[in-house]
């Protein structure tokens, strides 16, 4: 154990450049560079030599080389120090030959360094030339590469006489497209629908001639297919509004009110998505739909602060004016609820043949929270 400790004490020391034994001559200095100098001081010696003895461009190329080139050859570094400090080059017969070798070594680093600089410049140029798409451009690209391709395939199938269609709602979910992607899709489908309706109702001679090879039942089928896809887009847009992140400005107690609410977040059969239940708090009118019983409910409140929620029960309901009914054709009427205002919904409600009843104010895991209004 004692021998190991003594070896550790007599190992190589790293003192630095402050105690270089210049007075002891060339060999002592060379030995000192080899045994006792810090790497950073070794590198500084040759870098100073390069800056003092080369043009600015050549020096830049030499210094572009990896760092280890500047501390791995201690005899070159000692020579560089000797020249930098203007010591007597004739003190030792080896010094002149070392100076020639040092210059030759530094000269060899110039082409290597220039290649490194050229590669870095090319990389920087490539990075600067990278086109960064805006969020809107990325969305347009995604739409063009996904759902638009499906619609173009559908159009080709129709040209070939196939009786096909597309579930736009499911395609939007498949590709992760948001409500903001509905506009270009709607534009395409609206164009198809206009052409087919013009041909079916004989409003446009060009459309009639263009689809003269189709029988009226097929034209009518395609009209309904377009209307169904447009209806899907309405639901997608409504779902996007419903799931839009809501900035909570109400007290913490509002969060606690909806903490235990049980409701149906999304139903694929009816293609519906619930609004955030926190949006119910403080509102005056709420529409819900039970996907299991197909019961549509309209809740009203006369409370000054709007609705409140306790557990899964809506509080503050005006039972005299609230109502519910079972829908025979949910798809048709739900589109009215999602897209119309209160007066228009009321007008359509009055035309229903099913009985209107009084709701109990409870919502459950089968309940879709359709829509809220301020009045």
Structure confidence at residue 18 as a pLDDT band (50, 70, 90)? low
> In this predicted structure, which of 121-130, 136-145, 353-362 has the lowest mean pLDDT?
121-130
pLDDT(372) > 80: yes
From residue 129, give the alpha-carbon distance in Å to each of 116, 139, 224.
20, 21, 48
Q: What whole-number distance in Å separates Cα of residue 193 and Cα of residue 158?
A: 13
Which is higher by pLDDT, 104 or 68? 104
Question: Residue 158: what pLDDT?
Answer: 93
pLDDT digits (tens, 9 = 90+) for 215-256: 999 999 999 999 999 999 999 888 877 676 666 544 436 777
> In this predicted structure, which of 75-84, 177-186, 193-202, 345-354 has the lowest mean pLDDT?
75-84
pLDDT digits (tens, 9 = 90+) for 262-291: 899 999 999 999 998 888 888 999 999 999
> In this predicted structure, which of 65-69, 155-159, 298-302, 344-348 has the lowest mean pLDDT?
65-69
Q: What whole-number distance in Å separates Cα of residue 267 and Cα of residue 242?
A: 13
What is the residue-averaged pLDDT of the chain?
A: 85
Q: Are 89 and 82 in contact (CB under 8 A)?
A: yes
The position carrying tokens 């590469």 is: 145
pLDDT digits (tens, 9 = 90+) for 240-249: 776 766 665 4
> What's the pTM value of the predicted model, to 2 decimals?
0.42
Question: Residue 12: what pLDDT?
Answer: 41
Which is higher by pLDDT, 124 or 145? 145
Assign 3-class secondary structure to 78-140: HHHHHHHCCCCCCCCCCHHHHHHHHHHHHHHHHHHHHHHHHHHHHHHHHHHHCCCCCHHHHHH
């Amino acid at each position: 154990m004692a021998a190991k400790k003594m070896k550790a004490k007599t190992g190589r020391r790293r003192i630095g450049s402050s105690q270089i034994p210049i007075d002891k001559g060339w060999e002592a200095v060379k030995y000192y560079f080899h045994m006792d100098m810090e790497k950073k001081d070794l590198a500084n010696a040759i870098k100073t030599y390069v800056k003092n003895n080369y043009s600015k461009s050549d020096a830049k190329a030499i210094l572009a080389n990896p760092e280890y080139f500047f501390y791995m050859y201690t005899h070159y570094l000692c020579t560089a120090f000797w020249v930098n400090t203007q010591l007597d080059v004739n003190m030792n017969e080896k010094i002149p030959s070392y100076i020639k070798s040092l210059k030759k070594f530094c000269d060899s680093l110039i082409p290597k360094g220039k290649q490194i600089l050229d590669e870095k410049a090319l990389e920087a140029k490539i990075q600067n030339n990278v086109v960064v798409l805006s969020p809107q451009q990325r969305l347009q690209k995604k739409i063009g590469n996904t759902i638009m391709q499906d619609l173009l395939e559908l159009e080709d199938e129709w040209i070939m006489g196939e009786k096909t269609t597309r579930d736009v709602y499911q395609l939007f979910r498949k590709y992760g497209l948001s409500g903001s992607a509905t506009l270009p899709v709607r534009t395409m489908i609206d164009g198809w629908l206009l052409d087919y309706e013009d041909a079916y109702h004989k409003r446009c001679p060009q459309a009639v001639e263009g689809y003269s090879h189709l029988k009226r039942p097929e034209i009518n089928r395609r009209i309904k297919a377009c209307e169904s896809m447009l209806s899907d887009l309405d639901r997608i847009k409504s779902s996007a509004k419903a799931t839009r992140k809501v900035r909570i400005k109400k007290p913490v107690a509002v969060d606690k009110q909806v903490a235990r609410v049980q409701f149906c977040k999304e139903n694929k059969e009816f293609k519906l998505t619930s609004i955030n239940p926190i949006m119910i708090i403080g509102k005056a009118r709420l529409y819900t739909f039970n996907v299991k019983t197909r019961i549509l409910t309209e809740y009203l409140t006369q409370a000054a602060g709007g609705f409140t929620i306790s557990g899964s029960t809506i509080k503050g309901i005006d039972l005299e004016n609230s109502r519910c009914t079972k829908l025979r054709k949910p798809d048709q009427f739900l589109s009215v609820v999602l897209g119309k205002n209160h007066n228009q919904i009321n007008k359509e409600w009055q035309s229903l043949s099913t009985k209107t009843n009084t709701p109990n104010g409870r919502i459950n895991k089968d309940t879709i929270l359709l829509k809220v209004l301020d009045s």
